[in-house]
Amino acid sequence: MAKIWITYAWDDNEQGDIDYVAQELRRAGLKVKLDRWQLGAGKRLWSQIEHFITAPSESHAWLFYATQNSLLSEACREELAYALDRALSSRGLAFPVIGLFPASVERELIPAAIRTRLYVELSDPDWKERVVAAAENRTLSLPEKELNPYVVTIHSPPEHFKVLFEVRPRAGVWHPFAAGVPNSEKESVGFAFRSGARGFIPSIAGIHISNGNIVSDDGQWYLELGHEAATPTHSYFLFCKEIPSAVVFGQINTSGQMYFWNAADNVR
């Protein structure tokens, strides 16, 4: 079981954030040791970490937790750069040195030794696996994520609308295109769509580009039909006055494919 030391500033653990990181890394299979430091006390960081960095029996990796606020301090950055240099000099370039950041930080604030090695953001859903793989000196192995054949993007809606969805295929063509909402919600949702270039929201004013509308054979869905194809670069924009429980979209014909998207679970 790999042993990792976490160096962090006292203030960053006031609400238990570091304790949580340690808890999760232990659950992921690492032995975790905590080392807190305080630059304000005037004690050099290296003198605090030297005892467990220089002894291979004491650590297999070193992780430091840094925030943008702490890295804005010139004194803090100098201490981290010094400690990083000494750690790599003592244990060699293969020694895993990991920077863990609770949020995105300006790249130029990250010590050079970390920028060229490994730094991990807690917003990354795979942050634990990245840290564990580095500590265990093995190749990162992440499960391949299966992607949907479509993309749904939620945009800020124009005035008088509650939500705006952009839908498009990742590959291929949807033609004839159709999109719809539950038939029981047709009146309350006030559904309408426009087509346009991917990422560029068209005006809701002007002509309605629908080729008509139908109700699905089972009576569950109210569908608007488009006269232009949806492609990876040409989207449809679904304007709704209220948030529907779900939407369907895609190609409607005997060989087509309609996709169901749970709007209620994805829109806040």
Q: What is the tens place of the pLDDT at every residue in 124-164?
A: 889 999 999 999 989 988 877 888 999 999 999 998 899 99
Beta-strand ranges (E) seen in the chain are 3-9, 31-37, 61-65, 97-101, 118-121, 150-155, 163-169, 177-182, 192-197, 210-215, 221-226, 234-240, 247-251, 258-261
Report the pLDDT value the prediction gives residue 94, as an integer from 0 to 100. Answer: 86
The dihedrals phi and psi of 264, each to the nearest 5 degrees, come to -60, -30
Report the pLDDT value the prediction gives residue 69, as an integer from 0 to 100. Answer: 65
CB atoms near residue 46 (< 10 Å): 17
Report how far residue 76's alpha carbon sits from residue 170's, in angstroms, rounded to the nearest whole number.
45
Question: What are the structural domains of the chain?
Answer: 3-135 (3.40.50.10140), 150-266 (no CATH)
Residue 58, helix vs strand vs coil:
coil
Report the pLDDT value the prediction gives residue 67, as an integer from 0 to 100. Answer: 78
- In this structure, what token pair is assigned to residue 59? 């650590």
Report the pLDDT value the prediction gives residue 136, as an integer from 0 to 100. Answer: 93
Report the pLDDT value the prediction gives residue 150, as an integer from 0 to 100. Answer: 96
pLDDT along the chain (268 residues), means of 10: 86 88 95 72 66 82 80 71 82 87 77 76 91 92 86 93 95 94 94 91 69 86 92 95 95 86 86
Report the pLDDT value the prediction gives residue 207, as an integer from 0 to 100. Answer: 47
Q: Which residue has the tokens 């004491």?
A: 58
Report the pLDDT value the prediction gives residue 39, as an integer from 0 to 100. Answer: 47
